[in-house]
Amino acid sequence: MTRVDCDVHPTVPSLQALLPYMDEVWRDNAVRRGIEELATVSYPTTNPLSSRADWRDPSGKAGTTVEALRAQALDPFGTDLAICSPLYGVQALFSEDMSAAFARALNTWTAREFLDRDPRLRASIVVPQINAERAVDEIEHWAGDHRFVQVLLLVGSELPLGRRQTWPIYAAAERHGLPVGIHAGSMHRSGMTPVGWTSSYTEDYVAQATAFQSQLGSLLAEGVFAKFPDLTVVLMESGVSWLPAYLWRFSKFWKGTRAEIPWVSDPPSSIVRDRVRLTLQPFDAPPDSASVTRLMEHLGSEEMLLFSTDYPHWQFDGQAAWPEGFSPALKQKIMADNPLKTYARLRETVS
Amino acid sequence: MNVDVLNRSGIQPVAASRLAISDCDIHPRASMKALLPWIPKAWQEHLASFGMLHRQPWEKGPAYPKAQPQASRRDAWPPSGGGPGSDLGFMAAQHLDPNNVTLGILNPLGVGQGAANPDLSAVVTYAANEWQIEEWLSKDDRLRGSVVVPYEDAVASAREIERYAGDKRFAQVLLLSRTAAPLGQRQYWPIYEAAEAAGLPIGIHAFGYGGTPISAGGWPSFYIEEMVGHAQAQQAVTASFILEGVFERFPKLKVVMIEGGLAWAPSLGWRMDAQWRKLKQELPHLKRLPSEVLKQHVWFTTQPIEEPEPRSQLAEVFDWMGWDRVLFATDYPHWDFDDPAYALPMKMTEEQRRMVFRDNARAVFGVS
C-alpha cells in the first residue's frame, strides 16, 4: 500500500530564507523596506494549534527543514508520499506585484529546500490569488515539474472563489491535470465570518469551517464544475463534518431556486461527491465509532476523504492521526486509493 | 417549499389532524404607513425626505432579489388588498385555523432593525412593537409578539426591552443575524442583560444589514448563496455567543436561532469542543465544553428544514442535538413555507412529535 499524506506544511523560518530565491529588485525591496516576516494571524507562530509542542524546534517553529519533516511527519507515519503546502502570507499582500514575486520565491524555496532533498515529497503551487493572470503565470512556470501536484488557494479570499475572475486559474489547473486545493487561511480582506471579525483566535479557527461552506456554495452556484469538467477541488483542513448538513440545505434551495443558476443541472450532492475531496485532519467528530459511522453514512461516499496529518498543526497527539471508527478497508481507501485517484501526478511515480 | 399554488382541498393534513402546533416563525407585514400612528411627526417628516437607509445598495428591497415577489407564497396576498402577512383574518383562515396553530410567534421584518440611522431605528422599532399589540396581539390570543429592538444601539435596545418586560403578549426579543459585528461581542451585552432580567429569550432571525461581506470570501453572486449562507451566519453567531462567554455572564439567557437551519449544530459543537480542548487558555471565562453550553442555551427553529436522503438521517441529527432543542416553524407567508403536514416526513415517536411541533416552544417561551 502506498501511504499518502495529503496535507503537510513546511514552515518558512523567516522572510530571510526566501531572499536567495528572489530576483534582485524584490530582494532589495524586502531588505530596504524592512519586511522581515510574513507569518499570518491564521497560524500565529506561538499559538498552540499552529504547531504541536513536541514538534517545535528551539526557534519555536516546526517543520522548517527537510530533516525535521522527515523525522516528524514522514518516518513516524510510514509515509510514502506527502504533499507540502506552505502557509506563508504571500497571498495576503495587497500589492499584486509583490504577491506574485514572493509566491515565486516561496515555490522556489519549496522546490530547492524540500522537493530536491527527499523523493517522497510533492508540493502545491502557491499563487498570488489577488490576480488570476499572475496566478496562471505561476502555474505555467511550475507545471512542467511534476513534483508539483496541485494549485493552492486560501479559503478566505477577496472575492468568492467561484467568481468568474478566478476561472483562468481553474482553466490552467485543469489543463495541467492539477487539482485545486482550497486550504484554511485567509487573505484577510474581511473577517472569517459573515458578520465580521472575531475577537479570539479560537473563534476565527472555528469559523473557517463556515468559510469552506460559502466557497463550496460559490463554486457550485457559479457553475465551475460544469465549466471545468475535469477539475477536482480538494478542501484542506476544513473540518469535514459540516458537509452533509450543508449539502442538504443547498440541495433544498436548489430545488426551489435553480432557475437562477440553470447551468447547475445535476443535483449538487452528486456534483460534490464526484468532484470534491476533503483532507482528513481535523476531523470534527465525537470520539465514538457509532457517530463516525453515522457521519460517513451522511457523507454518502467513501471516495471523498484523503488522509492527512496536517503536520505540524496540533490536531492529535502521538501517532493518533486516525480518528475512531475507520475500518481497515476504509483506511486503505483514504490513505492510498483516494489520493492516487485524486492526484494524477502521484500515479506517475507509483506502480 | 410551496412554489406553486397546490390544490390540497382533498388532502387531510396529517399532523394538524392530530396535534395542536406551535409555529415559531410567522411574519406579520407592517407597511411604513401602518406604523405611522406611533411615529412622531418630526420623524415622519424625516422619513418623507430621507427615507430609511440600510448598509446595502438599494433604496427599496433586499440586497439580493428574492425568488418570488416579496419572498411570498403566491396564494398569500389577502383579498383585503395589503401584502402577504398584513391581514390577521386572512392569515387565520389560510394558516392558523387549518394548521391548528395554537401558539404563533410573530417575527416582524423590515421594521427599522439595522437601519443606518440609530435614532430612526429606535423610533421605527418602537412603532412596530405598538403595532403588534394593536393589530395582532390584542386581537388573537394564539399569537405572541417579538420585541423588536434597534440592536446596533444596545442601550436603546435595553430600554425598549424594559418597556415591555412583564407584558406576557411578547414571547421574545428579536434580533437579526447579520449585524455589524458578531452578536456575542460586548457592545451587544446590554440587550442580553435586559432580556435576561425580563425573562425573554433572544430570537435571532436570518437576514440583516451588517455591511460586511456576507461570507469570509466576499460578496456572493446569487440569491441561493445568500439563502444557504444564512446557516453560515448563524453558525458564526452561535459560536460568538458561546466563545465570548455570554452565557457565563447571563446564565439564564436563552437564544433561539430562526430560519438558519439546524443540522449544522452538532458539527459546530464538535468543532468548538476540539478547539477549546487545545486553546482554552485563550478563553478563561469559558468553563465548560462549548457543546454543553450549546445544548443548554440554544434552540433552533425547523424551517427551512434540511432534507437528507433518506430523511431518517434528520432524526439522527436530532438525536445528536437533543430533541428538546427543535422548534417547529413554517415561515408563513414566505415562499419557502414548510407545511406542518409534510415538512418532517420521518419516523418519530408520539412524544418526539409533541415536543417538536408543540411542547418545546411552550417550554422555551414559558407559555402554558
Say which CATH number the domain at A237 has: 3.20.20.140
Q: Which residue has the cell 414548510?
A: B338
Considering only CB atoms, which chain B residues are within 8 Å of A312? Answer: none
> If residue A54 lies in a helix (H) or strand (E), which one and from where to where?
none
The answer to whether position B6 is within a domain reads no
The answer to whether position B23 is within a domain reads yes
Nearest CA-CA distance, residue B97 and chain A, Å: 27
The Cβ of residue B312 has, within 10 Å, a number of other Cβ atoms equal to 11
Grid cell, residue B318, equals: 436530532
Separation between Cα atoms, residue A53 and residue A146, nearest integer Å:
33
Residue of A nearest to B261 (CA): A249
Whether the pLDDT of residue A119 is over 60: the answer is yes
Residue B60, pLDDT score: 86
Separation between Cα atoms, residue A281 and residue A307, nearest integer Å:
8
Q: Are A57 and A64 in contact (CB under 8 A)?
A: yes
Residue A350, pLDDT score: 73
Mean pLDDT of all residues in chain A? 97
Is the Cβ pair B210, A196 closer than 8 Å? yes
Q: Which of residues 305-344 of B touch A (CB under 8 A)?
A: 305-308, 313, 316-317, 320, 335-336
The Cβ of residue A32 has, within 10 Å, a number of other Cβ atoms equal to 8
Q: DSSP string of A268-329?
A: HHHHHHHHEEEE-SSB---S-HHHHHHHHHHHT-SSSEE----BTS-SSSTT--SPTT--HH
Q: Which of residues 165-204 of B touch A (CB under 8 A)?
A: 177-183, 185
Nearest CA-CA distance, residue B24 and chain A, Å: 20
Is the Cβ pair A49, B216 closer than 8 Å? no
Residue of A221, A239, A242 lying closest to B221 (CB–CB) = A221
Residue A351, pLDDT score: 56
**pLDDT grade for B17, boundaries at 50, 70 and 90:** low
Residue B12, pLDDT score: 46
Whether the pLDDT of residue B272 is over 80: the answer is yes
The domain that holds B72 is classified in CATH as: 3.20.20.140
Is the Cβ pair B1, A298 closer than 8 Å? no
Which residue out of B3, B177, B222 would a mutagenesis test of the A interface target, given it has the greatest number of A Cβ atoms within 10 Å? B222
Q: Strand order of the sheet with strand A121-126?
A: A4-8, A81-84, A121-126, A148-156, A180-186, A233-236, A276-279, A305-306
The Cβ of residue B276 has, within 10 Å, a number of other Cβ atoms equal to 21
| B269 backbone dihedrals φ, ψ, rounded to 5° | -60, -45
Residue of A158, A202, A251 lying closest to B243 (CB–CB) = A202
Mean pLDDT is lowest, of A38-42, B15-19, B192-196, for: B15-19
Domain that holds residue B122: 17-365
**Cα angle, residue B233 at apex, residues A186 and A8 outer, rounded to 5°:** 30
pLDDT digits (tens, 9 = 90+) for B3-13: 455 555 544 44
The answer to whether position B260 is within a domain reads yes
Is the Cβ pair A196, B217 closer than 8 Å? no
Considering only CB atoms, which chain A residues are within 8 Å of B67? Answer: 256-257, 260
Nearest CA-CA distance, residue B105 and chain A, Å: 24
Number of domains in chain A: 1
Separation between Cα atoms, residue B166 and residue A72, nearest integer Å:
62
Q: Are A171 and A187 in contact (CB under 8 A)?
A: no
Q: Are B160 and B122 in contact (CB under 8 A)?
A: yes
Domain that holds residue A331: 4-347
Residue B18, pLDDT score: 60
Residue A252, pLDDT score: 95
The SS3 assignment for A28 reads: helix
Is the Cβ pair A210, B185 closer than 8 Å? no
Q: Which of B99, B96, B123, B128 is nearest to B111 (CA)?
A: B128
Residue of B1, B221, B237 lying closest to A163 (CB–CB) = B221
Residue range B153-168: average pLDDT?
A: 98
% of chain B with per-residue pLDDT over 90: 91
Is the Cβ pair A257, B67 closer than 8 Å? yes
Residue range B65-89: average pLDDT?
A: 93
Query: In whole angstroms, how far apart are CA A47 and each of A312, B61, B333?
Result: 12, 44, 48
Separation between Cα atoms, residue B216 and residue B103, nearest integer Å:
37
Whether the pLDDT of residue B296 is over 70: the answer is yes
Nearest CA-CA distance, residue A152 and chain B, Å: 15
Residue A65 pairs in a beta bridge with none
**Cα angle, residue A178 at apex, residues A248 and B229 outer, rounded to 5°:** 25
ipTM of the complex: 0.97
Is the Cβ pair A217, B307 closer than 8 Å? no
Q: Are A253 and B224 in contact (CB under 8 A)?
A: yes
Residue A149, pLDDT score: 98
Grid cell, residue A304, equals: 471523498
Residue A150 pairs in a beta bridge with A124
Mean pLDDT of all residues in chain B? 94
The answer to whether position B3 is within a domain reads no
Core vs surface per residue A140-175: b (16+ CB within 10 A) or e? eebbeebbbbbbbbbbbbbbbbbbeebbebbbbbbe
Q: Which of B122, B121, B261, B129 is nearest to A251 (CA)?
A: B261
**Which three-class secondary structure string do you get for A93-131?**
CCCHHHHHHHHHHHHHHHHHHCHHHCCCEEEEEECCCCC
**pLDDT grade for B19, boundaries at 50, 70 and 90:** confident
- With left for phi above 0 and alpha for psi between -120 and 50, is residue B114 left, alpha or beta? left
What number of CA atoms fall less than 13 Å from residue A40's CA on the CB side?
19
pLDDT digits (tens, 9 = 90+) for B181-202: 999 999 999 999 999 999 999 9
Q: Are A227 and A180 in contact (CB under 8 A)?
A: no
* B329 contacts: CB under 8 Å, gap ≥ 6: B23, B24, B25, B105, B258, B259, B301, B302, B303, B338
**pLDDT grade for B53, boundaries at 50, 70 and 90:** very high
Q: Are B102 and B114 in contact (CB under 8 A)?
A: no
**Which three-class secondary structure string do you get for B317-344?**
HHHHHCHHHEECCCCCCECCCCCCCCCC
Number of domains in chain B: 1
**Cα angle, residue B269 at apex, residues B254 and A83 outer, rounded to 5°:** 155
Q: Which of A61, A94, A48 is nearest to A201 (CA)?
A: A48
Maximum Cα–Cα distance for chain B, whole Å?
Answer: 61
pLDDT digits (tens, 9 = 90+) for A199-241: 999 999 999 999 999 999 999 999 999 999 999 999 999 999 9
Whether the pLDDT of residue A174 is over 80: the answer is yes
The dihedral through the CA atoms of A172, A178, A182, A183 has a sign that is negative
What number of CA atoms fall less than 13 Å from residue B180's CA on the CB side?
15
Residue of A nearest to B186 (CA): A199
What number of CA atoms fall less than 13 Å from residue A156's CA on the CB side?
27
Residue A43, pLDDT score: 97
The answer to whether position B4 is within a domain reads no
The answer to whether position B206 is within a domain reads yes
